[in-house]
């Protein structure tokens, strides 16, 4: 594993090979450079590079920043972050985050700026797909989406000043945290690869929110496999294309408590433009590590009645369904 750094955001890059301005460095060498006070270094990311899941929250204010303002904004960041991460792991203890910050007067804006940057440990993701994830979770109006540029992205590095004309420092949440926790390119050995199985750009407007209670692990029983197939057949195509809805289907099938439903989940996901080995692998990975998150098969029945009431009534197996809570 290696890390690409540029000396500052002012380094010329146009027409140059990446190695001419952002050489790959061993992790220890990169961390030594980032530990130097007052540096202006940035991480250099390029499309298709897997990174930690990182997020960015910025707000510009007219008045000086008070402890009350900073606490209020951090509480909001944590609440959004917890909502975003909750569904991804059966055991939340394997997913951690640390929140870097850079607050103070911004010379460029002539105002005061609040800035938080969470870094998540335990998940890896192609950084250009993070905006798709945020849109699917209806959080794109909260986070700054300008830090995921296609082609290349410069990401301000930990312990560094914003620029030679802006002395605000990107600071760790706790002084004794390892710097590595705040480097997007350094992935944990046990990081779960998060693959976006569908192109969310085809259907961003039909995101459906589902129950995300994290306490329920109830398994349903006595649901006939034919009924499951009938219900899935009634779901409209947007359910496969929207990530949040697709994931809810996986949770609901997992709640039935038998791996035989993995095959049904894969068949549900196998629409022509996404019938790829990568998409099928994403199905398996989500199904294998997913908790039910409080979602039951009743959610899918409700969707089926919404999406195709006529078809739902036609299926003879519907009558055999056990009543779900």
Quote the pLDDT of residue 290.
54
Angle between helix axes 260-269 and 243-254 (nearest 10 degrees) is: 160
For residues 27 and 185, give the distance between their C-alpha atoms in angstroms, rounded to a whole number.
9
pTM for the model: 0.61
C-alpha–C-alpha distance, residues 16 and 25, integer Å: 18
Cα–Cα distance, 158 to 172 (Å, whole number): 7
Counting the structural domains of the chain, the total is: 2
Residues 296 and 150 in one domain: no
Range of the domain at 208: 200-320
Q: Specify whether 94 is located in the same domain as 51.
A: yes
CA atoms within 13 A on the CB side of 118: 24
Do residues 101 and 156 lie in contact, with contact meaning Cβ atoms separated by under 8 Å?
A: no
Please tell me whether residues 157 and 209 are part of one structural domain.
no
160 and 23 in a single domain? The answer is: yes
Contact 137, 200 (CB under 8 A): no
Residues 28 and 171 in one domain: yes
Q: Are residues 24 and 112 in the same domain?
A: yes
State how beta strands 166-169 and 161-163 pair.
antiparallel
DSSP string, 138-176: T-TTTS--TT--SSEEEEEPTT-EEETTEEEE-B-SSTT
Same domain, 118 and 187: yes
Q: Is 147 contained in some domain?
A: yes
pLDDT in tens, the chain (325 residues): 899 999 988 888 888 888 888 889 999 999 999 999 889 999 999 877 889 999 999 999 999 999 999 999 999 999 988 888 876 654 444 678 999 999 999 888 889 999 999 999 888 888 888 888 888 778 888 999 889 988 889 999 999 998 888 889 999 999 999 999 999 999 988 777 765 444 333 333 333 333 333 223 334 445 777 888 888 888 887 777 777 777 778 878 887 776 778 888 888 777 655 566 766 777 777 777 655 555 677 778 888 888 887 777 776 454 333 333 3
Distance CA 119, CA 113 (A): 20
- Asked if residue 189 and residue 204 are part of one domain, the reply reads no
Classify residue 279: in a domain, yes or no. yes
d(CA 102, CA 40): 14
Q: Are residues 241 and 173 in the same domain?
A: no
- Residue 69 and residue 169 share a domain: yes
pLDDT of residue 203: 35
Q: Are 112 and 186 in a shared domain?
A: yes
């Amino acid at each position: 594993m290696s890390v690409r750094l540029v000396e500052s955001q002012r380094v010329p890059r146009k027409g140059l090979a990446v190695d001419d301005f952002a050489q790959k460095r061993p992790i220890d060498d990169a961390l030594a450079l980032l530990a130097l006070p007052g540096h202006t270094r940035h991480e250099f990311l390029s499309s298709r590079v897997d990174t930690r899941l990182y997020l960015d929250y910025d707000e510009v204010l007219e008045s000086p920043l008070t402890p009350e303002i900073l606490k209020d904004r951090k509480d909001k960041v944590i609440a959004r972050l917890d909502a975003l991460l909750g569904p991804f792991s059966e055991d939340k203890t394997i997913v951690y985050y640390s929140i870097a910050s850079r607050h103070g007067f911004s010379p460029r804006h002539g105002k005061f700026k609040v800035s938080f940057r969470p870094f998540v440990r335990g998940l890896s993701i192609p950084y250009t797909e993070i905006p798709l994830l945020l849109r699917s979770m209806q959080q794109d109006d909260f986070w700054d989406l300008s830090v995921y540029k296609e082609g290349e992205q410069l990401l301000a590095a930990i312990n560094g000043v914003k620029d030679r004309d802006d002395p605000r420092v990107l600071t760790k949440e706790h002084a004794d945290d390892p710097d590595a926790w705040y480097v997007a390119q350094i992935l944990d050995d046990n990081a779960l690869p998060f693959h976006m199985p569908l192109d969310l750009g085809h259907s961003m407007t039909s995101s459906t929110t589902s129950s995300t209670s994290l306490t329920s692990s109830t398994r349903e029983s006595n649901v006939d496999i034919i009924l499951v197939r009938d219900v899935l057949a009634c779901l409209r195509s947007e359910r496969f294309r929207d990530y949040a809805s697709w994931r809810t289907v996986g949770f609901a099938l997992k709640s039935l408590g038998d791996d035989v439903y993995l095959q049904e989940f894969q068949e549900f996901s196998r629409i022509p433009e996404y019938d790829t080995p990568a998409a099928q692998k994403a199905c398996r990975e989500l199904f294998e590590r997913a908790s039910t998150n409080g979602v039951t098969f009743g959610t899918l029945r409700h969707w089926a009645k919404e999406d195709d009431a006529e078809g739902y009534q036609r299926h003879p197996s519907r009558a055999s369904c056990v009543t779900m809570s």
